[in-house]
């Protein structure tokens, strides 16, 4: 199966790592809004980040890229980490919303490149199983980030969860 393919397990490690950032983001944004006494703001902030992600995905998919997927993956993950790091310093809700939108721009392209790498990393007969492993790693990472973020937020403020998200994305960039 795909686990025997060279490079597949390291790719799943990267997926687990960067998807942990997604969990930290979800709980960190929710905590940010709650800290400001506006818990419903979390939906708007996450929605704006999702709009940025969708636009980033459309922009990425609308053109041909001349360099290999692995360097693209690493660069996109580094940009995701940088955007989340900046977001962890945002104080005012309007700045947070704008920075969240821009941080989201690379999220869909990260997922697009991840899918292309999964497809290219295994033989055709292992594709379905490879995508099952990939989806499992992605969802496990989100769960880890949500759980770890919840524990972190018992002691620290939202910026700690967002900084942890940035660290996970940057570590994934290095691993990629």
Cβ–Cβ < 8 Å for 13, 133: no
Give the pLDDT band of residue 43 (cuts 50, 70, 90). Answer: very high
Evaluate if residue 4 carries a pLDDT over 90.
Answer: no
Evaluate if residue 143 carries a pLDDT over 90.
Answer: yes
Residue 69: its pLDDT value, please? 94
Residue 91: its pLDDT value, please? 87
Evaluate if residue 36 carries a pLDDT over 90.
Answer: yes
Evaluate if residue 153 carries a pLDDT over 90.
Answer: yes
Residue 1: its pLDDT value, please? 86
pLDDT tens track for 103-126: 999 999 999 999 999 999 998 999
Evaluate if residue 160 carries a pLDDT over 90.
Answer: yes
Give the pLDDT band of residue 128 (cuts 50, 70, 90). Answer: very high
Share of the chain above pLDDT 90, in %: 91
């Amino acid at each position: 199966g795909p686990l025997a393919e060279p490079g597949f397990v390291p790719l799943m490690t990267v997926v687990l790592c960067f998807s942990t950032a997604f969990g930290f983001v979800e709980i960190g944004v929710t905590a940010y809004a709650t800290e400001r006494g506006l818990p419903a703001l979390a939906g708007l902030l996450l929605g704006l980040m999702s709009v940025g992600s969708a636009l980033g995905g459309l922009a990425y998919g609308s053109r041909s890229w001349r360099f290999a997927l692995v360097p693209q993956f690493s660069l996109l993950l580094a940009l995701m980490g940088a955007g989340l790091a900046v977001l962890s310093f945002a104080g005012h809700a309007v700045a947070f919303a704008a920075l969240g939108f821009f941080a989201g721009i690379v999220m869909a392209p990260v997922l697009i490149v991840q899918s292309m790498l999964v497809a290219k990393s295994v033989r055709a007969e292992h594709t379905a199983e490879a995508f099952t492993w990939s989806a499992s790693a992605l969802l496990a990472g989100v769960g880890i980030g949500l759980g770890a973020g919840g524990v972190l937020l018992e002691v620290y403020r939202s910026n700690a969860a967002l900084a942890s998200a940035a660290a996970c994305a940057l570590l994934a960039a290095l691993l990629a």
